[in-house]
Amino acid sequence: MLTLIYLLLLGLIVGSFLNCVIFRLEKKESFLRGRSYCPACHHQLSWRDLVPVLSYISLSGKCRYCKKGISIQYPIVELATAALFLLVFWHSGFQVDLEFEFLILISTLSIIIFVYDLKHYIIPDRVVFPAIFLALIFDLQFFVLGQFSTLSSAIIASGLFLLIFLVSKGKWLGFGDVKLVFLMGLILGFPNILAALFLAFFIGGIIGIGLIIAGKKGMKSEIPFGPFLITGTFLAIFFGQNLINWYLNLLT
């Protein structure tokens, strides 16, 4: 129980830091130095303004100093990070091992990619490349044992996305998606990469159609695909094998 509470609090704190990283990546500012400040009035924030979720609630979603609205992104990212940390702990059999630590790190980087691509339609190299490096290091233990599922999955899946990128001349998806799919392959391996890509296209298609029906997007509007790839990745991590077994049972 204490571990769950610790992970919940840790997730909220890390989520608050990730909001800072996302904001400063856009501004090309260092997220390791300097005090946090209000984006509207640039007033430095005190510790009372930075308590995850609680500060947002106590301030009614407005800056203490200029009364400008605070983006709902901040509490959502904090809560999502905490929830993801708890899900990773559950997936790891409530054990703190190497896989748990790897997935926690991948979760933090994935949240940055998710939000940044959703906001700016860009998957930042400064995040996806360290994630790829981290996944390669983690996978080295399996390469030693002669298991190349993750690397081959990464190469094949990203190769297919690269082909789509080249054929469409970048109109159907961006090159950042190619790099992200390579990372997905390193994390998931086969056959979970198939489940993740299917879920990404399926969820993306449903939401895209919904946005068009609602008049929020047109047929030629650009929709970032990174968030759907990230969503598919974690659904495959947590439920991939169950989904694959369910699908195979339908065929038999």
Note the pLDDT of residue 146: 47
Q: Give domain status of residue 249, yes or no.
A: no
Which of 30, 63, 86 is the last residue before a domain boundary?
Answer: 86
Do 122 and 202 fall within a single domain? yes
Domain total in the chain = 2
Do 180 and 126 fall within a single domain? yes
Which of 38, 60, 86 is the last residue before a domain boundary?
Answer: 86
Collect contacts of 110-114 with beta carbons under 8 A, ≥24 apart: 110/230, 110/233, 110/234, 111/15, 111/18, 111/77, 111/80, 111/81, 111/84, 112/18, 112/21, 112/22, 112/25, 113/180, 113/226, 113/230, 114/226, 114/227, 114/230, 114/231
Q: Give domain status of residue 189, yes or no.
A: yes
Q: Give domain status of residue 252, yes or no.
A: no
pLDDT along the chain (252 residues), means of 10: 90 95 86 80 85 92 90 95 96 90 96 95 95 90 61 92 92 92 93 92 90 76 90 92 73 66
pTM for the predicted model, two decimal places: 0.89
> Could you tell me the residue range of the domain that residue 226 belongs to?
97-244
Q: Give domain status of residue 251, yes or no.
A: no
